[in-house]
Structure 1
Amino acid sequence: MSSLSGKVQTVLGLVEPTQLGCTMTHEHLTMSYKCCFVPPSSDQEALSEGHMEMKNLFWIKQNPYSHKENLLLYQETDAVKEELLHFKAAGGGAIVENTTTGISRDVKTLKKLAEETGVHIIAGAGFYVDGTHSPEIRVMSVEQLTDIIVNEILSGADGTNIKCGVIGEIGCSWPLTESEKKVLQATAHAQSQLGCPVIIHPGRHSDAPFQIIRILQEAGADLSKTVMSHLDRTIFDEKKLLEFGKLGCYLEYDLFGTELLNYQFNPDVDMPSDNERIARIRMLIDEGYEDRILMAHDIHTKNRLMNYGGHGYSHILKNIVPKMLIRGISQNRIDKILVENPKQWLTFKYR
C-alpha cells in the first residue's frame, strides 16, 4: 500500500500527480443508465423508442431519461475516443471516470481509451444507488463491502488487474436506504485504510449532503479527500451552501452543459444555467473556498456528446473558462480549480 502514497492511480498504473494537468473530476466514458429510465407520457411513447435524429434532439435534450437509446453510452466508444482527443487538444489532461458497480463499469474499455488517446483516466470503485444493488450486495456486511472496494483499488476491478484510483461515485438516494448507508460506511473504512480519494453522488434533497457527511465522519472518513458531487442540483440556498462548505469536503459543480426546462428526476428543481453555475463558483471563491471547488460535465447520456449535437468533454475548457475570465475569475484561480484541486484530491495520502 505504501507504493500508492503520493501517487495517482490511473487505469494504466501509477503516475505522478504533476502529470495530470487539467482534470475533469466527474465524467463517464462508457456506461448504461437503463436503471434510471423515466417512462414518458403516453402520447410520447413513440419518441421514447425511436432512433436519435436531428428532428427529435431537442425533445431528447429536454427528456434525456425517457429515450431508451440515449441511456446506452457504452455504444459510443468511437465517438468518445474522438472526443477525448478533442479534450486533449483543448488542453485537457485527465478524466475521473465515475462509473461504479450497477451502471455497467467497463475498465477494459477505459484502459483501451487511455492507451489510444493519451488522456489519463482514473476509474471508480464501489457501488451506485440502491436501485442497482444486487440481492448479494444488499445482504453483505460493511466488512464484506469494504473488502470489495479495497480489492478494486489494490488488485483490480471486475475480474481484471486494472485498478481503480478513486472510490465512487458512491450512489445515494433520498431518503438514504440501509444498503446505501452500509456502502457509505464501507467507503469510509476503505478510505481510512488506503488514504484514497472518495466521490459521492448525493440524493436529490438539500439535506442529503449533510446526512452523508455525518455518516462518513462517524465511520472514520477523511473529508479533506472527499468530494460532494452535483451541488448545482442539490443545494440552492446560498447560506445553506456556505454552511455545508464549512464541513471541509470538496464542492463539485459538475453538470456544466446541462440546461433543462424540467429536471425529470426532481420536478421541484429548476436546473441552473451555466451562467448561474459560474456565478455560484465566483461566490464560493469570494467566500474563501477556492481550494475546495471542482468542475466537470457528468456526461452520461449520448445527447451530451458532440456526435449528437451536445457540448462534449471540452465544453468547460472551450466555453466556460473564457466566460469565467469575463466574469472576473482570474486564470490563477481557474488553474486552481481545474489543475491544482483535482491533483490534491486524487493523490493518495502519504502513510
Structure 2
Amino acid sequence: MTASRTVTTMRGPIDAEGLGFTLMHEHLFVRSLETAQNYSTTWDSDDVRVADAVRQLEAVRADGVSAIVDLTVLGIGRDIRLMDRVAQEVGLHIIAATGAYVLDRLPYHFRFHPPTRNGDLAAGLAEWFVRDIEEGIAGTRIRAGVIKCATDTAGMTEDVVASVRAAAITANHTGALIMTHADAALRNGHDQQRIFVQEGVDLSRVVIGHVGDSTDLNYHRSLMDSGMTIGLDRFGLGLSTSERVAAIVTLCREGYSDRMVLSHDAACHSEWIDTATPGLENWNFQYVPRVVVPLLHEKGVAESDVQNLVVNNPQRLLGMARTSEERER
C-alpha cells in the first residue's frame, strides 16, 4: 500500500502537502511555572494570555503563515492544556514538541527519581518522549510531532548527554524529527552531531538550531554537508538582519536552500525576556514573512529557493510516512 506523509499537529494529523508557510522554531509561552505559582510575574491570567496569543497568531496567519512549530518542552514551562486552548481557536497549525531543554542538569526531581531503563537514564527519558509522540502528552489526546534537545555554554555534561541521547533513541523508534538548541559561537551543533552518529540517527531527520547566530559560514556548511538541516531561526534577536540575510543569500547561491529553515525563536509571551527591551522591536512572528522574505527576493534569491526555506523543507522534515491504517489509529 502506498504510504503518504502526514504531519502531527495539535489538532491531529494532516497531509504534509497542506502544511504551507511554516515557522520552524517558535514558542507560545515560555514560563517559569514554579515562580509563577509563588510570586508575581508578568503573567496576567490564563484568559488574557490565551486571547493575546490567538491575536498574535491570527495576525501572522494574515501574513501568509499557516503553521508554527512550538519547541516548548520540559525546562521551558510547557503547559499542553494551555497551549491547546490556543490551538483550538486559531486558524493555523501548531506542532508540539517532546524532549527536554537541559543546559546543564535535569530538574532536581530526577536525582531522586531517575526514569532509567536497565540503569540507562537516556533510555528511560526516551520512554517518556516516545509516549508523548505515540500516545499523547500529559494524559491528553495531543501528540508531539517533533523532538527537542539542547546544548549550550555548559557543554556536554552528564545530563545534557543523556537528554541528547534520549532524543536520538526517540527518533530512531518513532521517525520523528529532532530539532535542537545549540550555541553557534561554540559550534556545539557538532557535539550533538557526534551523539546522533553514535546512536545511528538518520542525519537528514535533524535540524540544528540557532546556526544563524554565527557569521561563520564554514560552520553552516559543515553541518549541512553531513546531511543535516540548519535553523536560521532567530530573526529579530542578536545578530543583525543584514548579516543573517547575507548568509542565506550566499548559501542559496551555493545550492544549500534545501537544507535551511527560517524562524524567530520568539514567543507570544515570555517570562524570561522582556520584548519591550530596546533592540527587540522586530523579534516577533511577523518579521520573517513581512521583512525577511521580501529582502530575500530583493537580494535576488530565486522564488524556488525561498519556497524551500519556508514551505518545502518544513513539509519534508515534519512529514512522516504513514499508511492509511496507521493514520486511522
Report the TM range for the smaller structure's normalisation.
0.7 to 0.9
Q: Could you say what secondary structure the match of 1:29 adopts?
A: strand
Give per-residue Cα distances to partners, 1:194-229, cap 9 Å, x unaligned.
111110111354331111101111112121011001
Q: 1:8 to 1:204 in 2, by over 3 A?
A: same
Q: Which residue of 1 aligns with 2:326?
A: none
Give per-residue Cα distances to partners, 1:237-271, cap 9 Å, x unaligned.
2233322321111111111111xxxxxxxxxxxx4
For residue 291 of structure 1, report the CA deviation from its aligned partner.
0.5
* TM-score, length of structure 1 as denominator length: 0.79
Deviates more, 1:145-154 or 1:182-191: 182-191
CA RMSD of aligned residues (A): 2.9
Q: Is 2:88 aligned against 1:115?
A: yes
Q: Is 2:223 aligned against 1:250?
A: no
Q: Is 2:185 aligned against 1:194?
A: no
1:119-268 pair list within 5 angstroms: 119-131=92-104, 133-137=106-110, 139=114, 140=116, 141-168=121-148, 170-174=149-153, 175-203=155-183, 205-233=185-213, 235-258=214-237
For residue 25 of structure 1, report the CA deviation from its aligned partner.
0.2
Give ranges in structure 2 of 5+ residues lacking alignment: 324-329
Amino acid at match of 1:294: V
Q: 1:290 aligns with which of 232, 257, 260?
A: 257
Q: Could you say what secondary structure the match of 2:24 adopts?
A: strand
For residue 143 of structure 1, report the CA deviation from its aligned partner.
1.6
For residue 34 of structure 1, report the CA deviation from its aligned partner.
8.3
Q: 1:73 to 1:199 in 2, by over 3 A?
A: farther
1:62-73 pair list within 5 angstroms: 69=42
- Tell me, in whole angstroms, the C-alpha distance in 1 between the residues paired with 2:281 and 2:54: 16
Percent identity of the aligned residues?
27
- Tell me, in whole angstroms, the C-alpha distance in 1 between the residues paired with 2:33 and 2:314: 30
Q: 1:142 to 1:242 in 2, by over 3 A?
A: same
Q: Is 2:13 aligned against 1:17?
A: no
1:302-313 pair list within 5 angstroms: 303-304=274-275, 311-313=283-285
* TM-score, length of structure 2 as denominator length: 0.84
For residue 310 of structure 1, report the CA deviation from its aligned partner.
5.0
Q: Which residue of 2 aligns with 1:272?
A: 239
Q: 1:339 aligns with which of 307, 311, 323?
A: 311
CA contact (8 A) 2:105 2:160 kept: no
Q: 1:241 to 1:336 in 2, by over 3 A?
A: closer
Give per-residue Cα distances to partners, 1:49-72, cap 9 Å, x unaligned.
9x9xxxxxxxxxxxxxxxx749x9
- Tell me, in whole angstroms, the C-alpha distance in 1 between the residues paired with 2:47 and 2:261: 25
CA contact (8 A) 2:236 2:281 kept: no
Amino acid at match of 1:7: T
For residue 272 of structure 1, report the CA deviation from its aligned partner.
1.8
- Tell me, in whole angstroms, the C-alpha distance in 2 between the residues paired with 1:33 and 1:339: 33
- Tell me, in whole angstroms, the C-alpha distance in 2 between the residues paired with 1:277 and 1:336: 17
Q: Which structure carries more strand by proportion?
A: 2
For residue 91 of structure 1, report the CA deviation from its aligned partner.
0.7
Deviates more, 1:338-347 or 1:174-183: 174-183
For residue 100 of structure 1, report the CA deviation from its aligned partner.
0.5
Q: Is 2:74 aligned against 1:101?
A: yes
CA contact (8 A) 2:25 2:71 kept: yes
For residue 22 of structure 1, report the CA deviation from its aligned partner.
0.3
CA contact (8 A) 1:23 1:94 kept: yes
Q: Which structure carries more helix by proportion?
A: 1
Amino acid at match of 2:126: T
For residue 20 of structure 1, report the CA deviation from its aligned partner.
1.1
Q: Could you say what secondary structure the match of 1:6 adopts?
A: strand
For residue 75 of structure 1, report the CA deviation from its aligned partner.
6.9
Q: 1:75 to 1:250 in 2, by over 3 A?
A: farther
Give ranges in structure 1 of 5+ residues lacking alignment: 36-48, 52-67, 259-270
Instruction: Give the aligned length.
Output: 304
Q: 1:311 to 1:185 in 2, by over 3 A?
A: closer
CA contact (8 A) 2:264 2:283 kept: no
- Tell me, in whole angstroms, the C-alpha distance in 1 between the residues paired with 2:184 and 2:139: 33
- Tell me, in whole angstroms, the C-alpha distance in 1 between the residues paired with 2:9 and 2:284: 22
